[in-house]
Amino acid sequence: MPAMARGWPQPITIVIDVLRASSSLTVMFDRGAGRVFPVAGLDAARRTARELGALLVGERQGVPPDGFDLGNSPRKLRDMDFAGRDVVFTTSNGTAALENVRHSRQVLMGCFNNASACCRRALELARRHEAIIGLVCAGQDNAFALDDGVCAGFLVETLARLSPQPCQLSDAAKAMQRLHGSFGSALEAFEHTASGRNIRRVGDDPDLALCAAVDTSRAVPVLRPDGSLTA
């Protein structure tokens, strides 16, 4: 899902998988995680975690697969101490999205939790590199997800508010901004989405309010040339 940047060379890209990969990453870095290695496949994730002696974190169908140390519930991850630990992380949609944005000059992960911190960093990088900022929604099963779109709209608002110059917005950015404005709150939007329903189905309801909370974190996950995320 393009937003501000589609087709432009080497944008600063913010990847959004608000339910729940972006939010989980932010929480893990807040709790002291060192490097997080996003891995698309399950087998590769298990192998990489073994090789690195890293914690194995993630989900399929919303729950931790066999042999995983932890799932993809930011609420539960918040109770853990990641100090000095590396993590291998695999989710159904978020980690796959990261594979598609390697052409970017820099890739950040954004969500409601780190909205202002992430947008400040993106604006700073955009100014330094004379680049534009692109928002990429992870979506679900290769299709647009309302939750990510609403979060993209909020990040567009935040970028426009924090930018020292007036922002030029693409049609897609304007559309997401209006989409966000059409809901009373992020939590209300989450109720309308398949991702939101799935999270309730697996009993992780408290994650919805947690993922909807604005500016609870200053951690901005950044993709490094070696494929790991750090904050």
2 counts as binding a second copy under rule CB under 8 A:
yes
Query: What is the smallest separation between the CB atom of 182 and a second copy, expressed in angstroms?
Result: 4
Contacting a second copy within 137-196 (CB under 8 A): 140-146, 149, 170-172, 174-175, 178-179, 181-182, 192-194
Q: Given the complex with a second copy, which of 2 and 65 has the nearer CB atom?
A: 2
Residue 8: CB minimum distance to a second copy, A: 10
Min dist. Cβ of residue 143 to a second copy (A): 5
Q: How far is the CB of 149 from a second copy (least distance, A)?
A: 5
Using the minimum distance from each CB to a second copy, give the nearer residue, 126 or 176: 176
Helix (H), strand (E), coil (C) string for the chain: CCCCCCCCCCCEEEEECCCCHHHHHHHHHHCCCCCEEECCCHHHHHHHHHHHCCEEEECECCECCCCCCECCCHHHHCCCCCCCCCEEEECCCHHHHHHCCCCCCEEEEECCCCHHHHHHHHHHHHHHHCCCEEEEECCECCECCHHHHHHHHHHHHHHHHHCCCCCCCCHHHHHHHHHHHCCCCHHHHHHCCHHHHHHHHCCCCHHHHHHHCCCCCCCCCEECCCCCEEC
Closer CB to a second copy, residue 29 or residue 190?
190
Instruction: Rank residues 120 and 174 by Cβ distance to a second copy and give the closer one.
Output: 174
Q: Which is nearer to a second copy, 7 or 164 (CB)?
A: 7
* Shortest CB 126 distance to a second copy, Å: 19
CA distance 91 to 183: 27
Task: Count the residues of the shown chain that bind a second copy, applying the rule CB under 8 A.
Answer: 23
**For a second copy, which is the closer residue by CB, 134 or 221?**
134
Helix axes 146-162, 115-129, angle to 10 degrees: 60
Instruction: Tell me how far, at minimum, the Cβ of 91 lies from a second copy, in Å.
Output: 18
Residues that bind a second copy (CB under 8 A): 2, 6-7, 140-146, 149, 170-172, 174-175, 178-179, 181-182, 192-194
